[in-house]
Chains A and B, each alone.
Chain A
Amino acid sequence: MAENAQNQLKERLDPYMAIIAPLAMILMIAAFMGIAEPTRYFRLSNLNIILLEAALYMPMAMAMTFVITQRGIDLSIGSVAALTSIIMAFLIKQYGFPDWAAVSIAICLGGLLGLINGLIITKFRVPDLIGTLAMDLVYRGLALVLAKGLVLARFPDLITDIGRGRLEWFLPIPVTIGILAFIVGFVLLKRTHFGRYSIAIGSSPEAAELTGIAVDRYKLHAYILMGTMAALAGVMLAGKLNAVQATSAPYFNLHVIAAVVVGGTSLFGGRASLLGSFAGVLLLSMMINALVTLRIEFFWQSVGSGVVIITSVALFTWLQKKDRDGGGGLFAAFATPENIKIVKLSGGLLALLIALLALGHFLSGAPVASG
């Protein structure tokens, strides 16, 4: 009886699971910062910084949600953003293009680079992970070839407005763009063939093929959307910093994938959560900002992001596993013969490490200055 009620509750909660997890983490961060640094963290100007940071990733997180839902991945988005914004900067600075033309060209070019990614994956049958990783090197290399070590700075108002402007009595322009992107994404997901087929392709590629869906074409669409949004983010970043260089946006790919995965979109395909991606973007920005506010060294950000990704993916996997085999408690699941062997192996490895440390310590001489 109690189990039945629990199942019913679970069934009712299930569609919202994706949003509950990142929301819980957001609340945890908010609560923690509320105790640790309430005045500096919740200052209006700081909230503005968090939103601006999040806005940059919103269009990309929207597009990445579709790519991942189709069981794909795109690791090249940082380089796409860098290459397209470098070209935009050159068009303005060196060739005197009008600002609106340069921005539109950059965004179209992003679509083209996404198309190339998609063609490599669908036509040459290169696995998406390898294909986009290689293209990441290619696009980054081209950006470096074009810009050398130059930093191109001081752009027309249009671009700085896109990056950090503010609508009168309303949200900052980049936040508006980000939210608009998610609204468009929502319509795409719920109301178009592209969205419906993205889920079908990720859920069961065989079923998609058998029902006559042009699987390759819809994959191309997703990568084109991804490239376009990456280029848009490139323009936004250029405007935000009012500067562009070939090495900008190095961690776009991991940050965006993290946000999407934290939001409950399944890496195994078929499960899309745009609302979750939105919350995921906010969560990562809040976390990074919290680390900065706490004056924790910059390099810990990387550690933090990694921990958040692992925690949430493991949590989602665990939740799904439980409803498949009914669950038998954490300890019952842990005490299998196989796991005991793994514990022994890890224990042995740790013992070896400790023994080596001890040996080194006993045989150590006076410290030698390096260099």
Chain B
Amino acid sequence: MAAREPIISMRGVSKRFGGVTALQDVDLDAYPGEVLAIVGDNGAGKSTLIKILTGVYRATGGTIEMDGEILSMNSHSEAIARGIDAVYQTLALADHLDPASNMFLGSELTKSFLGFPLLDNKRMREESERVLFDRLGVRLPNMDAPTESLSGGQRQAVAIARAVYHSDLRVLVMDEPTAALGPQETARTLKLIEVLREQGLAIVLISHSLDDVFAVSDRIQVMRRGRCVGIVKTAESSTQEVLGLIVGVTEDA
């Protein structure tokens, strides 16, 4: 795994909001076919870091390289165009629309009718069924029902399907994907993450749940007070060690 080149490497990234330093000199490497978990206490800078990665914020200092080439992204849509997308904690689903409409929300498929672009609902529906099944192994019971009637895990699948629909997606950031789910749904979502890893995506997972992190990640990057305080290989580490890094006892004691 170490022999492979990272898709994304962030070097010395800092972010200041006015006088407050949210991130200081942070590095991040994301490799294809690997799940990188980012853990840390509230306010440790996890969200700021991934918002810089997904183009929502601009870094005050430092560089982001993709395939060895320096990226400068001014917006989230530029990041999506580069193959970096995120699934938010809130999933950003419109509950009253059906799953297919949600999957294509903001990038609908259209066909031209007398020069007017009209939504191609039939094709969007077929495409979302295909993406859900082929890439995530999910078949929804009812493609016509509003998204609010789906279970938490199914909603998650729709949100992930939206991100992976772009065939050039290479880096997927997942912000607290299991926070609102029950144990069964959590297991299913972790399964989805593994499926995506098999497909060679680089996955950056933000989570508070160390159980989930240890279940699915390959490496764990620990953040504390805006700095990266350690990167461990999941297989060679323990909950104890990571917890120690998060709260800072191993250093201070």
**In the complex, A211 has a CB within 8 A of chain B:** yes
* B98-124 interface code vs A (CB 8 A; 1 in, 0 out): 000100011110100000111101000
Whether A270 touches B96, Cβ cut-off 8 Å, given contacts A191-B118, A191-B119, A196-B101, is: yes
Q: Is A213 in contact with B119, judged by CB distance below 8 angstroms?
A: no
How far apart are B128's CB and chain A's nearest CB, in angstroms? Answer: 14
Residues of A within 8 A of B162 (CB): 211
Residues of B within 8 A of A211 (CB): 92, 105-106, 162
**In the complex, B165 has a CB within 8 A of chain A:** no
Whether A207 touches B119, Cβ cut-off 8 Å, given contacts A200-B105, A212-B77, A212-B106, is: no
Residues of B within 8 A of A46 (CB): none
CA distance A190 to B93 in the complex (A): 18
User: From A210, which residue of chain B is reached at the shortest CB distance?
Assistant: B92
Task: Identify which of B76, B90, B96, B119 contacts A203 (C-beta below 8 A).
Answer: B96
Q: Is A206 in contact with B90, judged by CB distance below 8 angstroms?
A: yes
User: From B149, which residue of chain A is reached at the shortest CB distance?
Assistant: A11
Task: Identify which of A11, A187, A204, A213 contacts B95 (C-beta below 8 A).
Answer: A204
Chain A: interface residue total (CB-CB under 8 A): 21
CA distance A203 to B101 in the complex (A): 13
Residues of B within 8 A of A210 (CB): 88, 90, 92
Q: Is A203 in contact with B97, judged by CB distance below 8 angstroms?
A: yes
Residues of B within 8 A of A207 (CB): 90-94, 105
* A205-227 interface code vs B (CB 8 A; 1 in, 0 out): 01110111100000000000000
Task: Identify which of A11, A192, A200, A213 contacts B118 (C-beta below 8 A).
Answer: A192
How far apart are B14's CB and chain A's nearest CB, in angstroms? Answer: 25
How far apart are B100's CB and chain A's nearest CB, in angstroms? Answer: 11
Select the residue from A202, A207, A208 with max chain B CB neighbours within 10 A.
Answer: A207
Residues of A within 8 A of B101 (CB): 196, 199-200
**In the complex, A271 has a CB within 8 A of chain B:** yes
User: From A272, which residue of chain B is reached at the shortest CB distance?
Assistant: B96
User: From B119, which residue of chain A is reached at the shortest CB distance?
Assistant: A191
Q: Is A270 in contact with B95, judged by CB distance below 8 angstroms?
A: yes
Residues of A within 8 A of B106 (CB): 211-213
Whether A203 touches B105, Cβ cut-off 8 Å, given contacts A190-B119, A191-B118, A191-B121, is: no
CA distance A213 to B121 in the complex (A): 18
Q: Is B94 in contact with A203, judged by CB distance below 8 angstroms?
A: yes
Residues of B within 8 A of A208 (CB): 94, 105
Task: Identify which of A199, A200, A212 contacts B76 (C-beta below 8 A).
Answer: A212
Q: Is A200 in contact with B119, judged by CB distance below 8 angstroms?
A: no
Whether A203 touches B95, Cβ cut-off 8 Å, given contacts A196-B101, A210-B88, A212-B76, is: yes
CA distance A348 to B1 in the complex (A): 77
**In the complex, A166 has a CB within 8 A of chain B:** no
How far apart are B208's CB and chain A's nearest CB, in angstroms? Answer: 21
How far apart are B118's CB and chain A's nearest CB, in angstroms? Answer: 4
Residues of A within 8 A of B95 (CB): 203-204, 270
**In the complex, A193 has a CB within 8 A of chain B:** yes
User: From B110, which residue of chain A is reached at the shortest CB distance?
Assistant: A193
Residues of B within 8 A of A199 (CB): 94, 96-97, 101
Residues of A within 8 A of B88 (CB): 210
CA distance A271 to B108 in the complex (A): 20
Residues of B within 8 A of A190 (CB): 119, 121
Residues of A within 8 A of B92 (CB): 204, 206-207, 210-211
CA distance A172 to B205 in the complex (A): 63
Select the residue from A200, A213, A270 with max chain B CB neighbours within 10 A.
Answer: A200
CA distance A300 to B92 in the complex (A): 47
CA distance A207 to B107 in the complex (A): 13
Q: Which residues in window 173-207 of A have CB below 8 A to B? A: 187, 190-193, 196, 199-200, 202-204, 206-207
CA distance A211 to B107 in the complex (A): 9
User: From A207, which residue of chain B is reached at the shortest CB distance?
Assistant: B92
Task: Identify which of B90, B91, B97, B108 contacts A193 (C-beta below 8 A).
Answer: B108
Q: Is B90 in contact with A196, judged by CB distance below 8 angstroms?
A: no
Q: Is B94 in contact with A270, judged by CB distance below 8 angstroms?
A: yes
CA distance A119 to B186 in the complex (A): 44
Whether A196 touches B96, Cβ cut-off 8 Å, given contacts A206-B90, A207-B90, A212-B77, is: no
Residues of B within 8 A of A270 (CB): 94-96
13 contacts between A and B (CB under 8 A): A190-B119, A190-B121, A192-B116, A196-B101, A199-B97, A200-B94, A200-B101, A200-B105, A203-B95, A203-B97, A207-B92, A207-B93, A212-B76
Other contacts beyond A207-B94, A212-B76: 6, CB < 8 A: A192-B119, A204-B93, A207-B91, A213-B105, A270-B94, A271-B96
User: Which 8 residue pairs are nearest across A and B when measured between Cβ atoms?
Assistant: A211-B106, A270-B96, A203-B94, A200-B94, A210-B92, A207-B92, A203-B96, A191-B118
